[in-house]
Structure 1
Amino acid sequence: MTFLPLTPPGQTPLRVMTIAGSDSGGGAGIQADMRTFALLGLHGLVAVTAVTVQNSVGVKGFHEIPLDVVAGQIEAVASDIGLQAAKTGMLASSEIIETIADTWVAQGLHGSVPLVVDPVCASMHGDPLLHPSALNALRDKLFPLATLVTPNLDEVRLLVDIDVVDEESQRAAARALHALGPQWALVKGGHLRSSSHSPDLLFDGTDFHAFDSTRIDTVHDHGAGDTLAAAIACALAHGYPVPDAVAFGKHWVTECLRAAYPLGHGHGPVSALFRLTT
């Protein structure tokens, strides 16, 4: 695959922020995001929203970060270091979502910094990572600020009550998601287990863009959604148009799935470390 251009040593690279939860097992969350940022040559910035207690088997619990600390992290970075793109992950509660949305606008980032919203609602094991009451905050407060939203099929069902089973229902889901206010909606097909392919569909309110890849046969796919959104954010920071950024992210996460490794007694993580040997 073709990688993003690297900044020469000693020069300041582009900056991209993850606004998400910490994964103590290191497979997903800000840990996965930071691996992708670093291995694509960007400087990673962090606003931690929650600290999870988890491993390869599941999420045992999580602790939400105080609202003033969540807002303060974004403000501190935006006012000093600056950023060229951002992505969100686990946001835990409606209060945290509203705080992020308000801070994003107050810092003048809306309209100037691309924002990828990965609406994380549950872990891959089904453990809840978002209070049910927060779904409305996602739809009403954060989606209208998003350049792109990237739900998987389980999240699509929660957000717009559409069960994606084929291309027609995937298109309907993309239209319903776009109607909530983001500039672009990406309906990921990785959870469409009946298919030997992983079909993703991007919609801007007018045109559809299809992205397909052969399904990688592995149970080690922890952090795939985070990694995809992080790679897309990196490409947007470089100025890629959204369809090209999604195409790049799709290639990146496919290679990360191909390089995934076992870890612990459950699902291992997708691996951006393949980049070190390429």
Structure 2
Amino acid sequence: MIKKVGMSIAGIDTGNGAGGESDIRVFEVLGVHGVLAVTAITAQNTMGIKDILLVEPLFLKKQIETLLEDFKIEGIKLGMIYNKGQFQIIKDTLEGNFLVVDPVLYAKDGTQLIKDIDDYKRIILPITKVLTPNILEASALSGVKIENEEDVIKACKKLREIYNIPYVIIKGGHLGGNYSFDIMCSEENEIYKIGYNRLTIKHTHGTGSAFATALTAEYIKSKNIKWAFKKAREFLQSTIEYGLGLGKGIGPINISIDIMKKSMKYEVIEDMINFANFVENNEKFWLLIPEVQSNLAHSIKPEYVRDLSDIGTFRGRIIKRWDNKVIVGHPVVFGNPTHTARMLLSLIFKGVDSSCLINIRFDERILRGFKQIGYEQIEVNRELEPKHGEGKTMQWIIDYLYENFGKIPNIIYDTGAKGKEAMIRFWTKDIDEMIESLKSLLRII
């Protein structure tokens, strides 16, 4: 297998948040092989930069030339470069390449990361293909005081025109508000805007670096700058949402979150296939199937759950055939708004350590069996349920239990109401507990 190759030219962040080492991880999770030329080594953690050891310009040149002579590099992300000597090396070795520049003028703690800003503008900006400043950086480089969207567009156009940069993308997160946007102005004189919900999350170290690297990776794969902009913005949003609360300061974003969640969903599918095999091969499981049929809801790790798209169910339910044979309605799907999925989501949002929930037939023998194997149970009076919109019943049950009892036992049952079948709902921490508990139950009843 041959991957496309991208290069990062940046400093090393010893806290693994925003430097070249994190750029390599971004390249990797986006399917590009990353190579690295190091400009500096920082002594850094989540609270800030303690010191910087610069790489001599000639050694930086040796790194770049060594990589270029061996790899077909289709895009280069430029992060921290410190002084005129390093700037000139970049120009001499890389002019004409697809160069995405993240102008890291200052670190989050205020440490200056580009010493000779005038030389930086004179040497680096004219060879840049895509410039990705935030509001503060765009203002410093353009001289435009940015206070609103019109100012962003003005600064964007000015930077593009003065330095003949084909694409300038200004990230609008520093403007504040609940809704933010990034704006790109292009050599085709187009303005392209991407809006997104602003996330009030502390742990945002590495956002600028990750965005520029993701843009580079997506361009390498697609050769379409608009598409790369869109995909990089989507990538960044999820890395911020799941920011890592590490260290005592501003923790890093979670670069690996997308592949982590995909991996967890694959594990959920495997678990549910195992559960289906258990269900279809247990001769007594039909005793647990209610008239409305059954379904299993299984989530990824609860701390990563955000909505129903993180919860799997069987598309066609678990049904009892005329001959008491139990059939599982494969495949596993995510985001299916079943009662079991909604209740599991409500449990997780209450902080319950649960990843599995199933609805089963109401029967006093089943309740006694659950009690015998050690599960606490609680009854919900469905007659108390207020009128509300479709899909709110499961949330109401969990809210009712939490507000009135301060706890949510593993067994939640009701004896029904007009138009509502009596039901037992059983949740467990994981699939192994679910299977073993139901095996024990079926041996008893």
Q: Normalised by the size of structure 2, how large is the TM-score? A: 0.57
Q: How many residues align?
A: 259
Within the candidate set 33, 47, 61, 2:23 is matched to 33
Within the candidate set 4, 12, 26, 1:14 is matched to 4
Structure 1 CA distance, aligned partners of 2:6 and 2:43? 25
The aligned counterpart of 2:108 is 124
The aligned counterpart of 2:178 is 196
Match of 2:77, SS state, is strand
Structure 1 CA distance, aligned partners of 2:41 and 2:164? 29
Output one character per residue of 1:85-129: Cα deviation in whole Å (capped at 9) or x when no partner. Answer: 110001011221111111113xxxx1xx42101111111121111
Greater Rg, structure 1 or structure 2?
2
Contact 1:94–1:138 (CA under 8 A) maintained in structure 2: yes
Matched, 1:230 2:213: yes
Q: How does 1:92-131 map to 2 (within 5 A)?
A: 92-105=82-95, 110=96, 113-131=97-115
Shift of 1:45: 0.5
Structure 1 unmatched ranges of 5 or more: 1-10
Q: How does 1:16-95 map to 2 (within 5 A)?
A: 16-95=6-85
Q: Which runs of 4+ in 1 moved over 2 A?
A: none
Q: What RMSD over aligned residues (CA atoms) do the two structures have, in Å?
A: 1.1
Match of 1:186, SS state, is strand
Shift of 1:165: 1.2
Higher RCO (C-alpha under 8 Å, 6+ residues apart): 1
Shift of 1:46: 0.4
Identity %, equivalent residues: 28
The aligned counterpart of 2:380 is none
Shift of 1:181: 2.0
Structure 2 CA distance, aligned partners of 1:31 and 1:215? 27
Q: Normalised by the size of structure 1, how large is the TM-score? A: 0.90
Higher strand share: 2
Match of 1:92, SS state, is coil
Match of 2:173, SS state, is coil
The aligned counterpart of 2:270 is none
Contact 1:21–1:48 (CA under 8 A) maintained in structure 2: yes
The aligned counterpart of 1:208 is 191
Output one character per residue of 1:213-269: Cα deviation in whole Å (capped at 9) or x when no partner. Answer: 101120100000000000000011113311111111100000110111111100011
Instruction: Output the amino acid matched with 2:174.
Output: H
Structure 2 CA distance, aligned partners of 1:198 and 1:21? 29
Contact 2:135–2:170 (CA under 8 A) maintained in structure 1: yes
Within the candidate set 247, 257, 260, 2:240 is matched to 257
The aligned counterpart of 1:149 is 131
